[in-house]
Structure 1
Amino acid sequence: MWQVESIFLGASRKPDDSYQGPEELLLKYGNRHGLVTGATGTGKTVTLQILAEGFSDAGVPVFCADIKGDVAGLAKAGEPKDFLAKRAESIQLADYQFKEFPVVFWDLFGEQGHPIRATVSEMGPLLLSRLLNLTEAQEGVVNIAFKLADEEGMLLLDMKDMQSMLASMAERASELSGRYGNITKASVGAIQRALLVLEGQGGDHFFGEPALRISDLMRTSRDGRGAINVLAADRLMMNPRLYATFLLWLMSELFEELPEIGDPDKPKLVFFFDEAHLLFSDAPKVLVERVEQVVRLIRSKGVGVYFVTQNPLDVPETVLAQLGNRVQHALRAYTPREQKAVKTAAETFRPNPDFDCADAITQLGTGEALVSTLAEKGVPSMVQRTLIRPPSSRLGPLTPDERRQVIAQSPVAGQYDTTVDRESAYEMLAKQAEAKARAEEDQRAREAAQKEEAARGRWTLPDMDGDGRRERAPAKPRASNRQTVAEAAMKSVVRSVGSSVGRALVRGILGSLKKGF
């Protein structure tokens, strides 16, 4: 593969609207981050598309979210159209060709791409609390749950692990409160309800194993082009908090796992954060500080982060100051906030004496942008009014059959499709509960036996053997008193004879006595 040193973005225009020269993004400054802004329908998605194409051609893997389904067109070659040919001619793009790019589709729900998962432990208490929109007190309980799981050797992998851990903490609240701080059943109950809401929104698909391996996002094709990882986000956007938290988790994972490499000749990975305002909307200060820290330090890991949003005011100033490569599409200036956004955007560019930047932002047509990238020695170039180049891949979405074909040919096909449920906190706590129930049942049986023994031993016999107590000897079987018919008849005869003899004897005695008188 040939060596690529820059990405061709388009051609700048002179004040008379004639061709001036190419506008390029130097790859060695590709990890200095960037910003793509503009109102709806001004061409942000196409700019994202040509940036992804350029980085891929240079052998740089890309990760981006597909909010509307249009980015999926990267997987198929574009089709000749008159307006594309006209655009290529006007910017003097002589070698304009249509081609497809190596795309890997991902989907948190496993419907339009390979399932993508993380464990609860990898998410961490801060991001999980942000995802569940918890209060400070409830976040403290989540921190205790993670601490307790570490100390007791329990893995928190999926949502049922977290739910079981919280239930166990509620049962042991009096014991644990003395060690970790107050654990109220109300806080535990609120967290459990938040988990149920998240589960109902499909969040349970995200937590589990096999977890995503960062290395699978950093593949290159056989011809040396970087893989373009496209996250299907049309359904995910129905839960904006899950979308923003997931992308922030992914960015944090890249920061933690990749080694320090300084300033490489080209990035190791480029990360596009579309709808970036969702990341910072209502975000607590600690989370904004976390984003700022990751953006500032991840550059030395060779990762470039490009925020894509409608308004530059969506990104905090502390983060905005670190974004060296800028592409500003048209903004509207009807409301005071929009007018402030135009002014802010204009002030962040290095001025061009040929035009007023603030006026130009409101007058840009579709496919036009103000572009300023880092030039030699990392100095921002003078802002130029630029006509963005046409993409080489398809403009628009894929058909379901085309998507399924790309998924089937993916290098990670079959690796993440089947969920793995190994022993973790849920199973361990279930075993503990079962063992406790058996122990309690055995204890009740022993206590019942002891009571029965005590009741039998309440009466004693005299000491006949000198050992303090004499056990009652087993009773001998008693003879039966029942008679046979013959025995009854014989006894009747004997009684009759006896009675007659007795009467005769009495009469004899009485007769003798009478004779004597």
Structure 2
Amino acid sequence: MTERIFIGSACGEPQMLELKRANRHGLIAGATGTGKTITIQGIIEALSAAGVPSFVADVKGDLAGLAMAGSPLSKLHKTFVQRAAEIGELDFAYADNPVQFWDLFGEKGHPVRSTISEMGPLLLSRMLDLNEVQEGVLTIAFHVADKEGLLLLDLDDLQAMLAHCAERADELTIQYGNVSKASVGAIQRALLQLRSQGGDAFFGEPALAIGDLIGCDEKGRGLVNVLAADRLMASPRLYSTFLLWLLSALFEHLPEIGDPDKPVLCFFFDEAHLLFDHSPKALIEKIEQVARLIRSKGVGVYFITQNPVDVPDTVAGQLGNRVQHALRAYTPRDQAAVRAAVATFRANPEIDVAEAITELKVGEALVSLLQADGAPSPVQRTLIKPPRSRAGPITPEERKILMDTDAVGAKYDAAIDRESAEELIKAKTAEAAAAAAEVQAANEAEKTAAHQAKEEARAAKEVERQRIAAERAERNSPFNQIVRSATRSASSAIGREVANQVAKQVFGSSRGAGSNIVRGIFRGVLGGLFKGR
């Protein structure tokens, strides 16, 4: 016989959730203060007792009480005991659950981290509220990083990668499409805003291992993973994107198992409207795909919201198990929500759903669960069972003791910063700068040598010019001119005298016109020779 868990009682008839159908997802809806938290708490307790682990976001801090047994000293003790007797829960007794606390900021639980690469451009664009053009640039950055072996682990890596893409904008634009520096700047500003909200603590290593969420304690009870989300709610986009990432990670890591006898994990998404508000079509399709296909991985997803119309029809159609607390039909939107809720239930001729949904008391709900054959049960007006664990928050001291003694220990406490895109890009930039500096130094040395050679040639030419000028100046000095003039005069006189004497010896003392002419020519030649000297 298929194992079932008790949800509550409708006029003495127990309302049971078939574990074999618990992976067909569900919806828990109702106005504030109608008892949704108590319903979630009771379902998680029953799942844990059946050996089914769960993951739940604790928005108000109340679900932390799952870790501690309830107390007879509680203000709600009398109410719980009366409710247990009213619905026939004879074995009601307080009990704790094996809880592991998680926190994206590492304050109220073990740090939860993911790498930038694991998040991917689509979910990261959703988190940063990027437009279509900016998302395209971010996708190009991821592609280039993957192609060049640059690990994107944290925000420093992503910012370095974006700056690197901006520097190569012309090259990347030709290959992949327009990469404008304006788009890169817009993404960088969005990342800076994410940092200012503490979101950078989420990105890095060691990344969360999915296996640490799935398992049982030594008593066979399923682990209850509670995410501290009170501070996280101040960044609703980070909150919803993280939970969607976690669902996507579960889908990617878990094997295909069809319909198991009981779920591998049940996932409770509180304030589910944050997941769908202003989401682009691509993201809604991603959510629908995960909701539709993760069932075959043995994971049941339960959306918790105030208004059932917060969940799009494409996703709501996948939710087989429904618990609807009271709605207030004060506004047209509220009235539309009532009509939508009525339409989702399998009709019960004994119940006027439209009327009942506005009359439900705290702790009472309209319940329709999938039966063993997969068909939804007729809607029943049900009293929800009381929780066995503490209905309310725990103290910081209790939380610390529980964190120190759980199975996770200090595995995620210390962040790891290994070599990744930022360091590699810095190394490449430094190497390129060194090479450029070396080339520039060689060019400068070459220019200096050429300039020096040119200056040396100019200096040598100047020295030669000065030597020639000095020689010319020396030749043209008054003293040298007097000496040359005297030398020429002396040479001329001597030459004439020598010529006369030689002529006499050669030609003798003969007279006549011809002899005189010859003697004159001879003297002129000899005189010219002496004068040239």
Return the TM-score normalized by structure 1. Answer: 0.87
Q: Which residues of 2 match residues 282-431 of structure 1 at below 5 A?
A: 282-431=278-427
Match in the other structure for 1:79 = 71
Of 127, 132, 153, which residue of structure 2 is paired with 1:131? 127
Quick check: 1:26–1:374 contact (8 Å CA) kept in 2?
yes
| Distance (Å, rounded) in 2 between the aligned partners of 1:37 and 1:172 | 50
Deviation, structure 1 residue 376: 2.2
User: Aligned residue for 1:12?
Assistant: 10
In structure 2, the partner of 1:47 is 39
- The 2-side partners of 1:121 and 1:410 are apart by 29
| Partner residue in 1 for 2:85 | 89
Determine which structure has the larger helix proportion and give its number: 2
Asked if 1:268 corresponds to 2:264, the answer is yes
Name the CA shift for 1:120/1:460 in 2 (closer, same or farther; >3 Å). Answer: closer
SS, match of residue 362 in structure 1: coil
Determine if the alignment matches structure 1 residue 183 to structure 2 residue 175: no
Residues 4, 58 of structure 1: 8 Å contact kept: no
- 1:458 CA displacement: 2.6
- CA RMSD between the two structures: 1.0
Displacement of 1:82: 1.1
Q: Deviations over 1:190-217 (max 9, x none)?
A: 0000000000001100000000000000
Could you tell me which amino acid in structure 1 is paired with residue 377 of structure 2? S
Counterpart residue identity of residue 38, structure 2: V
Distance 2:20 2:243 in 1: 24
Q: Which residue identity does 1:432 align to in structure 2? A: K
In structure 1, what is the Cα distance between the partners aligned to 2:372 and 2:23?
14
Structure 1 residue 219, shift from structure 2 partner: 1.9
Q: Which residue identity is paired with 1:287?
A: L
1:445 to partner: Cα distance: 1.0
CA distance in 2, matches of 1:357, 1:399: 41
Q: What is the letter of the counterpart of residue 32 of structure 1?
A: R
> Is the 2:2–2:18 contact (alpha carbons within 8 Å) kept by the matching residues of 1?
no
Runs of at least 5 residues in structure 1 that lack an aligned partner in the other structure: 14-19, 462-517
Counterpart AA for 2:254:
L
Question: Would you say 1:36 and 2:28 are equivalent positions?
Answer: yes
Which residue of structure 1 aligns with residue 141 of structure 2? 145
Counterpart of 1:221 in structure 2 is: 217
The list of structure 1 runs, each at least 4 consecutive aligned residues, that deviate by more than 2 angstroms after superposition, is: 456-461
User: What SS is found at the alignment partner of 1:404?
Assistant: helix
Residue 62 of structure 1 corresponds to which residue in structure 2?
54
Pairwise CA distance, 1:413: 1.0
Which amino acid in the other structure matches residue 221 of structure 2?
A: R
In the aligned structure 1, how far is the partner of 2:384 from the partner of 2:248?
32
Q: Identify the residue that residue 164 of structure 1 maps to in structure 2.
A: 160
C-alpha change, 1:229 and 1:244, in structure 2 (3 Å) is same
Q: Is the 8 A contact 2:351 2:380 kept in 1?
A: no
CA distance in 2, matches of 1:219, 1:434: 47
2:521 match: none
The AA in structure 2 aligned to 1:289 is: E
Secondary structure of 2:144's aligned partner: helix
2:426 paired with 1:434:
no
Task: Please state whether the residue corresponding to 1:63 is helix, strand or coil.
Answer: strand
Map Cα deviations across residues 402-430 of structure 1 (whole Å, 9 max, x no partner).
01110011111110000000000000000
Q: Residue 251 of structure 1 corresponds to which residue in structure 2?
A: 247
Give, in whole Å, the separation in 2 of the partners of 1:321 and 1:135.
Answer: 29
Task: Note if contact 2:20-2:263 (Cα within 8 Å) is conserved in structure 1.
Answer: yes
Q: Secondary structure at the match of 2:291?
A: helix
Name the SS of the counterpart of 1:379 in structure 2: coil
SS at match of 1:377: coil
Separation of aligned partners in 2, 1:154 and 1:376: 50
Gaps of 5+ in 2: 458-533
Q: Alpha-carbon deviations, 1:28-72, whole Å to 9, x = none?
A: 001000000000000000000001001100101100000000000
The one-letter code matched in structure 1 to 2:56 is: C
8 Å contact 1:26–1:375 — kept in the other structure? Answer: yes
Inter-partner Cα distance in structure 1 for 2:297 and 2:2: 21
Separation (CA, whole Å) in 2 of partners of 1:274 and 1:129: 22
Task: Tell me, yes or no, if the aligned pair for 1:9 and 1:23 is still in contact at 8 Å.
Answer: yes
Q: CA deviation digits over 1:160-194, x for unaligned, max 9?
A: 00000010111111111111111111000000000
Does structure 1 conserve the Cα–Cα contact (< 8 Å) formed by 2:2 and 2:261?
Answer: no
Match 1:108 to one of 104, 108, 117: 104
What secondary structure is seen at the aligned counterpart in 2 of 1:428? helix
Deviation larger for 346-355 or 292-301: 346-355
Distance across 2 between alignment mates of 1:82 and 1:181: 67
- Aligned equivalent of 1:484: none
Letter in 2 for 1:30: A
The verdict on how the C-alpha distance between 1:452 and 1:382 changes in structure 2, with shifts beyond 3 A counting, is same
Q: Is the 8 A contact 2:21 2:372 kept in 1?
A: no
Q: What is the count of residue pairs matched by the alignment?
A: 453
- Name the SS of the counterpart of 1:376 in structure 2: coil
Q: Secondary structure of the equivalent of 2:373?
A: helix
Identity among equivalent positions (%) equals: 61
Q: 1:457 to 1:29 in 2, by over 3 A?
A: same
Match of 1:120 in 2: 116
